[in-house]
Amino acid sequence: MRKISYFIIIVFIFCGTAFAQPPEHIYRKANLNYENEAYEEAVSLYDELVKMDRVSPEVFYNLGNSYFKLKKIGKAIVNYERALEAAPGDREIISNLKLAQAGIVDKIEAPERGFILDMILFGYDRMDVNQLISVSSFFYLSIIALLIFSIFFPAQRKTFFYTSGMAALALAIFLIFLFSKIHSETVVTHAVVVIDKVDVRSGPKQDYLLQFTIHEGTKVKVVKELKDWFEIDLSKGLRGWLPKDSVEII
């Protein structure tokens, strides 16, 4: 009996390996389905890649496009946001995200940053954690190199000190960006409403007082989790509880 059991197990393993499709094949098949307007099939295949942990900005972006074609704005925004986290500053992702957000019922305006603040945060908006680490390391090593040069070239010491001071200022700015980005990606949790509309209540039960209603595609910050409920916060200070299954974590 034991020999027969081993034989059956080997057969199942062999069959599973033989019929398993490589991720590259699934991705090509998903893209082909999208081009042929078979969006449901495309979503299924892109989701398969996500479950396999074979994700990339392109997979999330294409998944967002597929959901957008199916008029599932919430799911589209979730995946555009995931794509943007993986590829900050990508113009196509930003453009399609804005297009999807234009269809949101709840118009919650983000605070205006102004031209100067936009210029200061230019690097922060367009760089991920690894890129910020690389830039910070560059400025750190530059400071070390400039201070060493100032020892061997005393005639230009003042210039080296001035330049290293400027590099130190840039390093401080990028370190602030880096710690802020790490905090945003690891501590702060955002979610998007993926159903038509959901009532936000004053507590984590259906019989609590109705605070307000938000609609599909609205992005919220998750503050607390309790069983089947999330406490959420909106940018205007609106706060309350909604069912977990009404939103999807970015």
Give average pLDDT by consecutive 10-residue segment, the chain, 250 residues. 44 45 90 96 95 90 97 97 92 96 82 70 83 94 94 91 95 94 84 97 95 95 94 87 96
CA separation, residue 159 to residues 51, 173, 223 (Å):
55, 22, 49
Integer CA distances (angstroms), 45 to 39, 85, 194, in order:
10, 21, 20
Question: What confidence score (pLDDT) does residue 110 get?
Answer: 60
Confidence (pLDDT) at 245: 96
Q: What is the pLDDT of residue 125?
A: 80
Q: Hey, what are 56's tokens?
A: 């990339």
Nearest to 49 by CA among 38, 37, 61: 61
The two three-digit tokens of residue 231, written as one number: 């406490």
List of residues 6+ apart from 232 with CB closer than 8 A: 191, 200, 220, 221, 222, 223, 239, 240, 241, 242, 247
Q: What's the 3-state SS for the chain? A: CHHHHHHHHHHHHHHHHHHCCCHHHHHHHHHHHHHCCCHHHHHHHHHHHHHCCCCCHHHHHHHHHHHHHCCCHHHHHHHHHHHHHHCCCCHHHHHHHHHHHCCCCCCCCCCCCHHHHHHHCHHHHHCCHHHHHHHHHHHHHHHHHHHHHHHHCHHHHHHHHHHHHHHHHHHHHHHHHHHHHHHHHHCCEEEEECCCEEEEECCCCCCCCEEEEEECCCEEEEEEEECCEEEEECCCCCEEEEEHHHEEEC
* Type of residue at 249: I
Determine the Cα–Cα distance for residues 142 and 238; give it in Å rounded to an integer: 46
Is 67:75 a contact under the CB 8 Å cutoff?
yes
- What does the pLDDT read at residue 43? 97
And the tokens for 148? 């060493």
pLDDT of residue 198: 97
pLDDT for res 7: 45
Check residue 46 and give its pLDDT: 96
Instruction: Tell me if 61 sits within 8 A of 31, measured CB to CB.
Output: no
Distances (CA, A) of 218 to 4, 46, 102, 246: 56, 23, 11, 11
How many whole angstroms from its chain centre is CA 231? 20
Q: Tell me what pLDDT residue 112 has.
A: 64
Q: Judge whether 71 and 40 are in contact, CB under 8 Å.
A: no
Q: What is the CA radius of gyration of the chain?
A: 25
